Amino acid sequence: MTETSPITGLGANIQRQSTTDQAADAVRQAILSGRLLPGTPLREAALAAELAVSRSTVREAARVLASEGLVRYQMNRGIVVTESTAEDVADIYAARAALELAGVDALTEHRDPAVYADLADLVEQIEHAFHRGDTAAVLDGDRLFHATLVAATGSPRLRRFYLQLQQEQRLALALAERSRRELGRTADDHRQLLDALHRSPAQARAELTAHLHAGAAELQQLLDLLAQRKQLAHRAEGETTHG
């Protein structure tokens, strides 16, 4: 899996990280963790001061994040953390479906036992995490399971694109919390999906699309809830201002 030098056998390619990349990482982390909410404008000067870097560096980092879809870059209006619409969420799931179905096709065609083993491990992990009540671990396992599926295509480009989709999805629900019931369904779903992957391509495809549709619906619902809560907060704020 890892590259090895033909001479030394050491694949350790040491490499410093540019300030720009570090800045991008910091902001990305803040966004994905929900510390920077969608819609938040990112003032270049303030960010530069906060990160102790120059404005040029911030701008370069912003270009990177923009290409990942985490922020939007509007002419003369600056950087804003991306706000996902309902259509965006639907689209993310549609795109996910396309890539993951390609993964299913590749897997059910080549039947690589290593991939099946990885997937089985992940299902175990997810179930364990669920019983421990470790929400973050469940979600991590979920993401890794699907990423592994796409990786089964063997295509680096599909893999990279898929990771971006996952990032966008994380951004969309950064502040949403899943209920225990939904997490349980997640755990069950993946075992079922794995079974279907063993059985037949057609069943696997069907199971996956069903799983994704359910996920999309759940996320849409969560977003609606958040929007409602936000509206209420907004209204309350208006009242206090008026009173």
Partner DNA sequence: GATTGCCATATTGTCCGGCAATCCGGCAAG
Partner DNA sequence: CTTGCCGGATTGCCGGACAATATGGCAATC
Please name which of 106, 140, 114 lies closest in space to residue 32, comparing C-alpha atoms: 140
Question: And the tokens for 200?
Answer: 């037949």
**Is residue 7 part of the contact set for DNA (CB under 7 A)?**
no
44 binding DNA? (CB under 7 A)? yes
Residue 166's nearest CA partner among 214, 81, 96 is 96
Q: Segment near DNA (CB under 7 A), from 14-22, 120-128, 145-153, 210-218?
A: 14-22
Closest CA relative to residue 165, chosen from 225, 100, 209: 100
Chosen residue from 52, 87, 136, 157 binding DNA by CB under 7 A: 52
The tokens describing 95, both together, are 């795109």
| H/E element, 71 | strand 71-74
User: Which entry of a second copy, DNA, none binds 54, CB below 5 to 8 A by partner kind?
Assistant: DNA
Closest to DNA by CB, 42 vs 147, is 42
Closer residue to a second copy (CB): 129 or 219: 219
Phi, psi (degrees; rounded to nearest 5) at 80: -135, 135
CB of 202 to DNA, least distance (A): 49
DSSP letters, 86-136, are HHHHHHHHHHHHHHHHHHHHHHHHH--HHHHHHHHHHHHHHHHHHHHT-HH
Partner whose binding site includes residue 165, from a second copy, DNA, none (CB under 5 to 8 Å by kind): a second copy
Which residues are at the interface with a second copy (CB under 8 A)? 15-16, 18, 56, 59-60, 63-64, 67-68, 75, 91-92, 94-95, 97-99, 101-102, 105, 153-158, 161, 165
Smallest separation (angstroms) from a second copy to the CB of 94: 4
* Residues near DNA (CB under 7 A): 16, 18-20, 41-45, 52-57, 59-60, 73-79
